[in-house]
Amino acid sequence: MFKKVFPLSAILSLRFLGLFLVLPVIAIYALELKGATPLLVGVVVGGYALTQAIFQVPFGTMSDKIGRKPTLLFGLIVFLIGSLICAFSTDIYTLMVGRFLQGAGAIGAVITAMISDLVPEEVRGKAMAIMGGSIAISFALAMGLGPVIGANYGIDTLFIITAVLSILAMLILFTKVPTPPRIKHTYHDTAKTSDILKDSNLLNMIIINAMQKGLMTVAFVLIPIILTSDTYGFGWETSELYKAYLPAMILGLIAMGPAAVFGEKKNKPKEIFLASIVLFIGSFLIMGLTSSDTIFIVGVAMFFIAFNMMEPLVQSMITKFAKVHQKGAALGISNSVAYFATFIGGTSAGLFLDLSNRETIGITIAAIATIWLLWTLKLQNPTKHSHLYLAKDSIDTEKLNALEHEHIAEWYINETENLVVVKYKTDSIEEDAIKAKISK
């Protein structure tokens, strides 16, 4: 499993490392450019997410039709172009265009779908945890390196590094990433958005993913501006921001492991999500109300602990709830909504800074997160399923096509490995009973 997952995780983490490197300092940098206002700065911080939102579904659907690898290559090329435009921008609007192009290379859902293609569902939670862990490590590295490199060599250097990382990701794609198996399923050829949104579990996960990502950009607009601006009483230098980000990310990494184990192995993701939301509420109240930079750092740490507790579980739960033919589309829709929320979060935070004060911002966000907490109480933990793998040659095709049972979630054919795969409720039906229904 590790050999299949690691190259894809590396591609995604390299891309995120490039994005994360600039996040701690881009708000301060953008505010100094020609034509900048707090609102436009918010758009720049979250701008990549707007185009991510627009292109997630097309990329996910395209990967289902033409293949994962060609889609990944196209996305990385677009991301590379956007990074170079950002590096050489001299005004707020050019920087904004570059950020929009960075986001247009929307490969996140494609990589997650590809992992779900390559890895059996029984160990998919571990695969998603590896992916989430690699992203979290990128996050931690970026929080420590971004402010230091940006302060000493300029933000344009960070964007050049991002472009180089995207080229490295392309090399990994063609030298290390295996080709996923061809899957033939029993459903209609195109996954319908309406079917995905009607599924209450998938809808709940879409909302959770959106709120998590939206609060991320709110935090990355507020944290650097509040800490470095004399208006809010802290007056830090840009090069000092790592003192807030780095310990917060280390604590987030530590929290992620137990959360993933409890959520996956104990099948209690709902409990992890609820605990994370409580931490989000506390973090924004602290960052909005405290006058102590030590307590403010505690609030930052609470935010990143909450974020990292959720990260390895969100994508995994979506792939568990989605049927095999829906994976790319479901992940595309979820990430599209999440990135749109990311854009709204950054833009709203910038607008709030223009029109209000940080105390009001903190209380408002905490109130919104409280509503989110109440909504999430409706979430159900996933039903435990197992998979039965049978040689295609041993199966009666007519019996297979007629297979219907309340405890069988779905079946599909892995044509590459010549296998029939049946997904069923672990505690409700025996493997022998399934075999008897479809064997020759």
Q: Distance between CA 347 and CA 303 in Å, rounded?
A: 19
Last residue of a domain, one of 351, 376, 401: 376
Q: Distance between CA 254 and CA 270 in Å, rounded?
A: 20
Verify that 96 and 170 share a domain, yes or no: yes
Verify that 300 and 203 share a domain, yes or no: yes
Decide: residue 194, CB within 10 A, 0-12 exposed, 13-18 middle, 19+ buried: exposed
Verify that 191 and 314 share a domain, yes or no: yes
| Contact status, residue 286 vs residue 298, Cβ threshold 8 Å | yes
Verify that 171 and 213 share a domain, yes or no: yes
Domain count, the chain: 2
Verify that 227 and 118 share a domain, yes or no: yes
Query: Domain range holding 253?
Result: 2-376
- Provide the 8-state DSSP code for 186: S
Verify that 401 and 362 share a domain, yes or no: no
| 3-class DSSP state of 402 | coil
Verify that 139 and 46 share a domain, yes or no: yes
Residue 208 has which token pair? 């959770």
pLDDT of residue 318: 82
pLDDT of residue 82: 94
Verify that 25 and 135 share a domain, yes or no: yes
CATH number (domain holding residue 363): 1.20.1250.20
Verify that 198 and 224 share a domain, yes or no: yes
The residue type at 345: G
What's the longest Cα–Cα distance across the chain? 77
Q: For residue 136, which of 215, 45, 248, 46 has the smallest C-alpha distance?
A: 248
Verify that 256 and 340 share a domain, yes or no: yes
pLDDT of residue 186: 46
Verify that 339 and 396 share a domain, yes or no: no
Which residues face 410 on adjacent strands?
423
Last residue of a domain, one of 376, 403, 426: 376
Q: Distance between CA 135 and CA 308 in Å, rounded?
A: 9
Last residue of a domain, one of 376, 400, 426: 376
pLDDT in tens, the chain (440 residues): 667 788 888 888 898 888 888 888 888 888 888 888 888 998 898 888 888 778 877 887 788 778 788 889 999 999 999 999 999 998 999 999 999 999 888 787 788 777 777 776 666 666 766 776 677 778 777 877 888 888 888 888 999 999 999 999 999 998 888 776 665 544 444 556 777 888 888 888 999 999 999 999 899 889 988 998 888 778 888 778 888 888 888 898 889 889 888 887 788 899 999 999 999 999 999 999 999 999 999 999 999 999 989 887 887 788 777 776 676 677 778 877 888 888 899 888 888 888 888 899 999 999 999 999 999 998 888 777 677 888 888 887 777 777 766 667 677 777 767 788 887 777 777 777 787 778 87
Verify that 354 and 391 share a domain, yes or no: no
Residue identified by tokens 């991301």 is 79
The 3-state secondary structure of 44-89, one letter per residue: HHHHHHHHHHHHHHHHHHHHHHHCHHHHHHHHHHHHHHHHHHHHCC
pLDDT of residue 164: 95
